[in-house]
Structure 1
Amino acid sequence: MQSRSARWRAHAVPLVVAALAGSLLAPSAPTPAAAGEHAVDSTWRGLGYNQDPLFRGAGDDTPGNDEWTDAAFQQMTQRVDYIRPGLVRIMINRPWFNPSGVVGSYAWDTPQMKNVFRVLAHYRQQGTSVVTGMWGLNDRAFYTSADAARLQADLMAKFRDQGYSNIVQYIGINEPNSGTGLKYGDWVTATTNLRTAFGAAHLDANLIGGPDTAEAGIAAQEGDLGLMSVPVRNAGTDQNLVWRADGLTGFSARLYRTPDDTGADWTFQTSKNGSTWTNLTVAQSGPVVTYATTPWYRVDVSARTVPTGTNYLRLTMPKRDGIERAVSTITLTTAVASITDPMNDLTQTVSHTPGWTYPGGSAANDWWLQSALDRQVAQHEAHFYVHEVDLGSPPDYPEAVVAEAVRQLKAADGGSVILGETGMKAPGDGDDKDYSFTSEYAHGVRMADLAVQEARAGVDGAMAWCLDGYDKAVQCGMWDHYQSPGKATLRPWFYTWSLLCRYLPSGSRIFAPAQPAGVRVLKAKLPASAGGGWTFVLVNRGSSPATVSMTAQTGTITLDKYVYSPDRAPADPATGFPVPADSLRASFDNGHDLTVGGNAVAVFTTAH
């Protein structure tokens, strides 16, 4: 029996994600607006990818010792020119330009650097913005030294002198919080040194971004970067946080715990004078697992009234070896006000015992927000991978998670927020990671879904891992560039990712309309450089077709319709590049129906 298509009216609405609202498993739908256009709060810089700038010749087992052949370079540039990325991340290895290890003595004519310069020159010619930085530098003594800062400033000065003005951000080392042994304070020291070195080299310190941390763990606490954690394995006594609110009438709370904690022994007490305490009985929800490699469990404490005359509330976390717990938010209510403490510092508490760490408690969570609150960098950048492939987590959780993290970062200092790496977490570890999922048809839908959710969540840009692979063991790309031209087959996700890079260009104004269940919806007002028209994107994770009524003040326009579905993905036979499946002429001023098939992506655009 043929299934009926779902119908949904998707007017322009604001994206609303509150720290205390709803469950990650069932995120609240955006709230419809009565009228008018409501844009996502972002300065859109576009989608792109990570790229290894080296050429790895098929006949040479030594990575990077070959210069690009003209044929291989032409294949790569033809494909990236079709993609039209908004952002490209290209990281540099120290031995490529400093093989001697002596700071100040550089070799800019190595095969590796010739490759780097050739790739950068092409992106400069195309007007593509580049984010760069360095792999490695993980030795703490060197990383925190003035020499390391000078090394990086000398690299950026060389790029400046070569005329690569399209380099828009320098992010230092890759994932300093992931298996390096470095601490946040080390990154602060290195970044402070880097600003000094940039100044000495007459480089703009506002180019410095970061901290380039591995933030996949934000899913463990649903995007809440401001948690106060109690690592009780080293605590000698009970840990307390105390709030004062004269005339307190009630409170509610959200807490998290690690899997090995029952969460049964944290307690709340009230006091009239701050010295005599009375235990409170509270009702709390059952633990709800979150989605991460190491999941935490969310527990909500229901709204609770307190005795008349209460002026103090205390949360006590008893000593328990080997576990970690965190408080996400506390909302205090009086007769005249309701105040929510987001727990991103301790200024709203009147006293506390030692042992609380800020924020997050986990190295995967605490650098991004801390750097924003400290005003360490002007451009915020980190990595976010989702667990749909390796853990089977629901595909609809990234938007709420990322939106909460972005909200906190932008509230801290208003800086830009980009994802320097994004994609699906590969099963396995290290060299044993299995990237076979990148060759599946479904990966084209997964990556389009992720891009739409991240754009709706308010990021200013995101770069997929990766363009064309890093070596034969890391088959993460849209093709593998170590294969000879003519044999470097495009993987299915090239189809959708290239369309979204191309037709959601930098400078677009992003909108997040209401969405039917299982369907992701995005619309974008394009900049004048792209014709000033519109792009509408529908991603359907369900098996049945869906129809969405899209509203925008367009007048009568003509759009190309691109389709990526199990039985239809029209492409140029010579290049494999997407071609329109159809065209549409309509006005969206009063709403117009758009359709997308099951397990499919549809992109409607006025751009060419």
Structure 2
Amino acid sequence: MKNILLIIIGTIMLLSCQRDDTEQIRIKTKELISTHFMGNGVQWSAYPHGDTENGEWGKLMTSEKWEMNFKRLDYMKPKLFRVLDQANWRYMVGFDSDGEPILDFHTPEVKAVEKILSYAQKNNITVLFGEWGTPYKMHDLDAGNSDKFKGANDPKWIRSIVAYLDYLIVKKGYTCIKYYNLVNEPNGDWASTKGDFEEWAEGVRMLTAALREKGLDKYISVAGPDAVTRYDNPNSTYSGAGWVRETAKQLDEMVGIYEVHDYTEYDLVRSGGFKKYHGDIAQLMAHTNKQIIFGELGFSRNGVENQERASRDLYACEDSQFDVFKFSYGVDMADAVIQSMNAGYSGAAAWALDDAMHTCGDLGNKNELKRWGMWNSLGTELCQNPADENMRPWFYSWSLLCRYFPSGCSVVKTDSTGIEGLRLTAGVYNDDITVAIVNNSGVDNTISLNIPTHKQLKKFLYFDGDRAVDVNRFPIPVEEKIDAKHSIELTMPASSFVILTSLDY
């Protein structure tokens, strides 16, 4: 009887210890994952079809439309813009009798790009700048001049890029431009390089040398490889991951920051495998001691249901993601970026800010929008639907992930929750702290957090049907602040996201 009693007591004590270990989740502010975090942001291209009178749609992007975007971004406080364009859309206006490109940096199209750059400069936003590909080689409409450049390694293009950057950075003062993409997703069979690593690498070497010669290297460096890591081009020498490895091996001296893309799968994120997969990618360049970011991050559009919705929409092309209209997309995107931060990534730009930026093939067909945005600035003009201009649910979670993880913060380690689908990350900035928690499962869970701060915390809730907003529809915290002196018990409904932060603006 005595032995049975001892066994019962021991079992109770063991279970008690296990419960404390699993429920008490610590934020380990002295154990760093990364420092000098760049921050999260968005892909924001100027509107090539509708930003000037010369565009296919005319000047639909009026000052009121721009101001609508600025106001929403004022709340979001993005830390990163990826701004890509085409020379022949903006500043390359023709060729002289010797076949040399004629450059004009005072066109209305350049001034439209400067609206984005001016906003970034004013708000201390890092800009990853670049061009989609070699001029006149990207789209059917460019075919008439497709023979004017041989590729990414054409000296004429390199000289044009450097002249443009000198104008924007030195003459105009857009020192927010910190990094340059030479060709979007160069490992893709859709890229102007068609996956030719040697062509792209030679172009990077030439561009770096030209930037140094011009003295621009003190302002800007190359971001690379800009590869889609989960895509292996059969015509490329290297896999998607191989592009990262070879860039680190062959071009590290020329690359200022490593940068990749992923249009990921829901199962990979919801299972927690996203962190492992992209953590392994980051390890390919870890010896360089440089940062790595996502230049584009979103979810695959290839699902049957998504393609059916795209085919039924009168204004969308197949290159659209209709889950942006769903509450769940805000949870999934938050989960992906939480895992990326825990894997050591220094930021992510979400694709994309606005449906009105691009059409399929960028041919300007009004019934072929790329529906990926947080809204459609031209919902009234293009779709006869003013409600299309409203912010979609995922603006809520993504704006909080931009706003409350400032540039320069340190991402710190946390205990595992031990609960399937429930993950968190934390950032420390001076004596402030932000914790982001996601429950990307189908069941409710309650956890206990130990957050080492003497400050009170605001709590933002992204729950389906329960997310507080102000008169502008921007997120606001719940009324009662949290005292973190003791453990914080937090109930996380299925498919939900929470931010706890001591940061004030």
Give me the CA root mean square deviation.
Answer: 2.9
Distance in 2 between residues matched to 1:101 and 1:484, nearest whole Å: 38
CA contact (8 A) 2:434 2:500 kept: yes
Measured in 2, the distance between the counterparts of 1:57 and 1:552 equals 48
- Answer yes or no: is the 8 Å Cα contact 1:503–1:607 preserved in 2: yes
In structure 1, C-alpha distance between the alignment counterparts of 2:184 and 2:112, rounded to whole Å: 20
User: Is the CA contact 1:479–1:490 (under 8 Å) kept in the aligned structure 2?
Assistant: yes
The answer (yes or no) to whether the contact 2:405–2:427 under 8 Å persists in 1 is: yes
Q: Is the 8 A contact 1:56 1:482 kept in 2?
A: no
**Relative to structure 1, is the Cα distance of residues 592 and 570 closer, same or farther in structure 2, using a 3 angstrom cutoff?**
closer
SS of match in other structure, 2:335: helix
Is 1:207–2:221 an aligned residue pair?
yes
Does residue 491 in structure 1 map to residue 392 in structure 2?
yes
- The separation in 2 between residues aligned to 1:584 and 1:200, in whole angstroms, is 55
| One-letter amino acid matched to 1:511 | V
Q: How does 1:45-56 map to 2 (within 5 A)?
A: 45-54=38-47
Counterpart among 165, 168, 183 of residue 173 in structure 1: 183
Match of residue 382, structure 1, among 260, 279, 285 = 260
Offset at 1:178?
0.6
Residue 278 of structure 2 corresponds to: 402
Structure 1: gaps spanning 5 or more residues: 1-5, 14-35, 219-293, 295-323, 325-356
Contact 1:537 1:601 in 2 (8 A): yes
Kindly provide the CA deviation profile for residues 232-270 of structure 1, in whole angstroms up to 9, marking residues without a partner as x: xxxxxxxxxxxxxxxxxxxxxxxxxxxxxxxxxxxxxxx
Query: CA 1:213/1:59 → structure 2, altered by over 3 Å: closer, same or farther?
Result: closer
* Structure 1 SS opposite 2:82: strand
Paired with 1:361 and 1:548, the residues of 2 have a C-alpha distance of 48
* Aligned-partner residue type, residue 504 of structure 1: F
Residue 435 in structure 1 maps to residue 315 in structure 2 = no
Q: Describe the superposition over 1:371-403 as per-residue Cα deviations: whole angstroms up to 9, x where unpaired.
A: 112224131111122111xx7874421111111
Deviation by residue 1:102-132 (Cα, 9 ceiling, x = unmatched) = 6552222333211101221111111111110
Does 2:451 correspond to 1:565? no
Name the amino acid aligned to 2:103. Answer: Y
Q: 1:58 to 1:42 in 2, by over 3 A?
A: closer
1:522 to 425, 431, 434: 425
- Supply the distance in 2 between the matched residues of 1:466 and 1:84 (Cα, whole angstroms): 15
Moved more, 102-111 or 461-470: 102-111
In structure 1, distance between residues paired with 2:402 and 2:117: 19
In 1: Cα distance, 2:378 partner to 2:227 partner: 29
CA 1:578/1:152 → structure 2, altered by over 3 Å: closer, same or farther?
Answer: same
**AA partner of residue 382 (structure 1):** V
Deviation at 1:452, TM superposition (A): 0.5
Conserved 8 A contact 2:51-2:61: no
Which residue in the other structure is 2:94 paired with? 100
Q: 1:484 to 1:401 in 2, by over 3 A?
A: same
Is 1:593 the counterpart of 2:489? The answer is yes
- Preserved contact between residue 505 and residue 526 of structure 1 (Cα < 8 Å): yes
Counterpart position of 1:113: 110
Amino acid paired to 2:222: I
Give how far 1:462 is off. 0.8
1:540 aligned partner: 439
**Is 1:552 the counterpart of 2:428 in the alignment?**
no
TM score, norm. by length of structure 2: 0.79
Which is further off, 134-143 or 82-91?
134-143
- Asked if the contact 1:55–1:482 (Cα under 8 Å) also holds between the matched residues in 2, the reply is no
C-alpha displacement of 1:578: 0.6
* Residue 362 of structure 1: how far off its partner (Å): 4.3
**3-state SS, counterpart of residue 446 of structure 2:** strand
Relative to total residues, which structure has the larger strand share, 1 or 2?
Answer: 1
* Secondary structure of residue in 1 paired with 2:497: strand
Shift in Å, 1:562: 0.7
C-alpha contact 2:186 2:227 (8 A) present in aligned 1: yes
Change (3 A) 1:53 1:177: same
Secondary structure, in 3 states, of the residue corresponding to 1:163?
Answer: coil
**Code of the aligned partner of 2:401:** L
Q: What's the counterpart of residue 133 of structure 1? A: 130
C-alpha distance in 1 between matches for 2:291 and 2:71? 30
Deviation at 1:415, TM superposition (A): 1.3
Q: State the match for 2:231 in structure 1.
A: 217
TM-score using structure 1 length: 0.66
Kept in 1, the 8 Å contact 2:228–2:261? The answer is yes
Residue 200 of structure 1: how far off its partner (Å): 2.7
Q: Tell me by how many angstroms 1:67 deviates.
A: 6.9
Question: Residue 364 of structure 1: which of 237, 240, 244 is its match?
Answer: 240
Secondary structure, in 3 states, of the residue corresponding to 1:497?
A: helix
Q: Are positions 1:473 and 2:473 aligned together?
A: no
Instruction: Report the CA distance shift for 1:478/1:50 in structure 2 as closer, same or farther (over 3 A).
Output: same
Quote how far apart the aligned CAs of 1:61 are: 11
The runs of 5 or more residues in structure 2 that have no matched partner are: 1-20, 138-145, 308-315, 359-367
Superposition deviation, residue 552 in structure 1? 3.4
Aligned counterpart for 1:11 among listed residues 19, 26, 36: 26
CA offsets per residue over residues 423-454 of structure 1, 9 Å max, x none? 11112799423421110111011111111111
Contact 1:171–1:209, Cα closer than 8 Å, also in 2: yes
Q: Name the amino acid aligned to 1:446.
A: D
How far apart are 1:585 and its partner, in Å? 3.0
Given that 1:39 and 1:511 are in contact with CA atoms closer than 8 Å, whether structure 2 keeps it comes out as yes
Confirm or deny: 8 A CA contact 2:354 2:375 kept in the other structure. Answer: yes
Are 2:459 and 1:580 equivalent residues in the alignment? no
Report which stretch shifted further, 590-599 or 153-162.
Answer: 590-599
In the TM superposition, residue 153 of structure 1 has moved relative to its aligned partner by 0.8
Q: Partner letter of residue 85 of structure 1? A: P
| Partner residue in 2 for 1:416 | 291
CA distance 1:405–1:561, change in 2 (3 Å): same
Q: Give how far 1:163 is off.
A: 0.4
Q: Give the drift of 1:101.
A: 4.5
Q: What is the DSSP-based 3-state SS (H/G/I as helix, E as strand, rest coil) of the residue aligned with 1:157? A: helix
Q: Distance in 2 between matches of 1:154 and 1:192?
A: 17
2: distance between equivalents of 1:129 and 1:533? 22
Which letter maps to 2:420? A
Q: 1:459 to 1:475 in 2, by over 3 A?
A: same
Q: Relative to structure 2, which stretch is displaced further, 498-507 or 194-203? A: 194-203
Q: Is the 8 A contact 2:208 2:221 kept in 1?
A: no
Q: Give the superposition deviation at 1:504.
A: 1.0
What does 1:168-317 align with in structure 2 at a 5 Å threshold?
A: 168-179=178-189, 180=191, 181-204=194-217, 207-217=221-231
Supply the distance in 1 between the matched residues of 2:447 and 2:244 (Cα, whole angstroms): 36
Q: Distance in 2 between matches of 1:38 and 1:583?
A: 30
- Which of 300, 303, 315 pairs up with 1:425? 300
Deviations 1:407-435 (A, max 9, x none): 22112x11111110011111279942342
Q: Distance in 2 between the 1:60 and 1:548 partners?
A: 56
Q: How far has the Cα of 1:169 moved from its partner?
A: 0.7
The code of the aligned residue for 2:202 comes to T
Corresponding letter in the other structure for 1:208: V
The yes-or-no answer on 1:142 pairing with 2:165 is no
Do the aligned partners of residues 520 and 61 (structure 1) sit closer, same or farther apart at CA in structure 2, a change above 3 Å counting?
farther
CA distance in 2, matches of 1:168, 1:420: 13
Structure number with greater Rg is 1
> Does structure 2 conserve the Cα–Cα contact (< 8 Å) formed by 1:47 and 1:463?
yes
2:206 and 2:277 mapped to 1: Cα distance?
33
Q: Given that residues 51 and 60 in structure 2 are in contact (C-alpha distance below 8 angstroms), is that contact kept between their aligned partners in structure 1?
A: no
